[in-house]
Chains A and B, each alone.
Chain A
């Protein structure tokens, strides 16, 4: 464990909690892409199946349980509890265009052609593009609530910090996992446009609105 990975995990946890509280307190999921949240629930489910078979550490197991629990709670609130506030018209990204190629890629490019390894690889690839429906929805509505931008900032920051974690682990442990690194870099690049808007607008107290 190193400082980049710890702050990355905490940033990820913060993002998940921010979103959950935003929906719960405002009793609304307006502006939130339910499709992205379903993809994240799939990412955690396919990646954390080893919860049942391998004990790495209390931290590792607790965080996995929290991530999975919050992901499904968020999906439940979007599609069940507060479904009246779900903006399905703007959440129109075709996720099959993500899941199918990612599934094919996971079967073709992986570290080991085993069931668990392919599932893990699938979850890594899927996570790198899972935010696209959310970013697409913001581009369609042309705006995002400030709390939603804080959620996205923490979510983008988590994988950016993981990149520093991989650099750290390469130099101090000689460990590197090319699949996780390439997917993590792609994932972080997808946020760059948003990071620019967040820094130049939201941090200056303006609302995030895109030229429609």
Chain B
């Protein structure tokens, strides 16, 4: 699973 998880959460 290599969805693009945008890590914009703190």
Stretch at the interface among A26-34, A59-67, A80-88: A59-67
Query: Complex: how many Å from CA A175 to CA B8?
Result: 12
By a CB distance below 8 angstroms, the chain B residues around A60 are: 8, 10
B10 touches A12 (CB 8 A): yes
Interface of B is mostly: loop
Contact in complex: A180, B10 (CB < 8 Å): no
B10 touches A177 (CB 8 A): no
Contact A112–B9 (Cβ < 8 Å): no
Q: Complex: how many Å from CA A56 to CA B6?
A: 10
Contacts of B1 in A (CB 8 A): 111-112
What mask results when residues 1 to 42 of chain A are scored 1 for a CB within 8 Å of chain B, else 0?
000010001001000000000000000000000000000000
The interface of chain A, by Cβ under 8 A from chain B, is: 5, 9, 12, 50, 54, 56-57, 60, 63-64, 67, 111-112, 120, 162, 165, 175, 177, 180
Q: Could you name 12 residue pairs across A and B whose Cβ atoms are closer than 8 Å?
A: A5-B9, A9-B10, A12-B10, A50-B7, A54-B7, A56-B8, A60-B8, A60-B10, A111-B3, A112-B1, A165-B9, A180-B9
